[in-house]
Amino acid sequence: MIGFEPLKGSHTGEHMAGILYKVLEHFSITKRLLCITTDNAGNNGTMRKELEELLNSLDINNNWSSDSTKIPCLAHVIQLVVKAILGAFNIKPAEGEGVDDVNGRSVNSAIAKVWY
């Protein structure tokens, strides 16, 4: 990861592509972009397509393709699979049942939310 930029304003793909382009330019790696790892949110697909149009229109990264250079986020894919499996078996935690951390303390986290 080379940048963690706050998104001020709308989270549209167009806006995110502009921010990503600025990060690439800041580190002088625009011509070296190979692939992007994202989840499957619609605005990420739009961001990749907008970045493709920008890079190719400026002739910066010759023929960079948003479709052939996408790498799905493995953690997100696993989370979707687990959620689908649990849903198929209608598995839900008992009321008040939580997840314990390594020290035995109860944790209310996004990991616990996958069970709902």
Output the average pLDDT for the chain: 79
pLDDT at 113 over 70: no
Examine the domain organization and report whether 68 and 108 are in the same domain. no
Examine the domain organization and report whether 57 and 89 are in the same domain. no
**Spatial distance between the Cα atoms of 98 and 112, rounded to a whole number of angstroms:** 7
Examine the domain organization and report whether 10 and 35 are in the same domain. yes
Q: What's this model's pTM, rounded to 2 decimal places?
A: 0.63
Count of the separate structural domains present in the chain: 2
Examine the domain organization and report whether 1 and 33 are in the same domain. yes
**Span 54-91, pLDDT tens digits:** 998 887 776 888 888 888 888 888 888 888 888 888 87
Examine the domain organization and report whether 31 and 58 are in the same domain. yes
Give residue 63's domain range: 1-72
Examine the domain organization and report whether 68 and 84 are in the same domain. no
Examine the domain organization and report whether 5 and 59 are in the same domain. yes
CA dihedral of residues 27, 30, 31, 33 (deg, nearest 10): 100
pLDDT at 67: 83
